[in-house]
Amino acid sequence: MRNFASAGLYLMLALAGSSPALANASVAANGTVELRPGDADYVKLGQQIYLEQCASCHGVNLEGQAGWRDKMVDGMRLAPPHDKSGHTWHHPDELLYQLTKYGFAAMIGSDYKVSMPVYDGILTDREIIAALSYIKSTWPDDVRQIHDRINADYRLNKAMENRKSGS
C-alpha cells in the first residue's frame, strides 16, 4: 500500500508542477488546500453540496457507478465511488480540489475522458472544500489516517520541490 501511495504521489507532483491550473489556485494564503472533515459546518454544507452536485453520479451513499473500474459509456469513464472502496482517499487534498475545480483534462490531459463537470465558476473554493470534507468525514478512521499520511508526504515533497526550484 505504501509503495502504491508513494508512486502515485510522485506522479501527482509531476502533474501538479506542470499544470497551469495549479499555479493559479490560491485557497490559503500559502496555497495550501486542507480538507476539514472535523468541522461540523463544513461537513454539513458539504453534504448538501454533495447531494445537489455529486450524488446523481457518485451515488447518495458515495458508492459510485457499477463497473467504474473497467467500463466506459459513450467514451467516458464512469463515476468512481468516494467511499473507502474507491480511490479518492489515495489522493492528497490539493489534487482532489484541483480535479474538482479545474477538471481532469486540465490536470491529467485530454486523453482521460470523464463526464464530470468542471466546477470552477459553479462552486466557490469553500464549497468545493466543504464537499470534499464531507466525503472524507464518511471514511473510517483507518482510511482517514492513511489519507492524512498521504497529505503529509505530499506537502513534504512539495516543500522539497519548492526548495529545489527556489520558490
Instruction: Note the pLDDT tens digit of each residue in 64-85.
Output: 999 999 888 988 889 999 999 9
End-to-end CA distance of the chain: 31
This prediction has a pTM of 0.80
Contact 159, 11 (CB under 8 A): no
Question: 3.40.50.300, 3.40.50.1000, 1.10.760.10, 3.40.50.1370: which CATH number matches 2-165?
Answer: 1.10.760.10
Residue 28 and residue 34 in contact, taking contact as beta carbons nearer than 8 Å? yes
Name the grid cell of 5.
501511495
Residue 88 DSSP label: G
Cell of 85: 472502496
Q: What is the pLDDT of residues 96-113, one digit of tens each?
A: 999 999 988 888 777 777
- The model's pLDDT over 8-67, given as tens digits with 9 standing for 90+, comes to 443 444 444 433 333 333 366 566 899 999 999 999 999 999 999 999 999 999 999 999
Task: Give residue limits of the domains in the chain.
Answer: 2-165
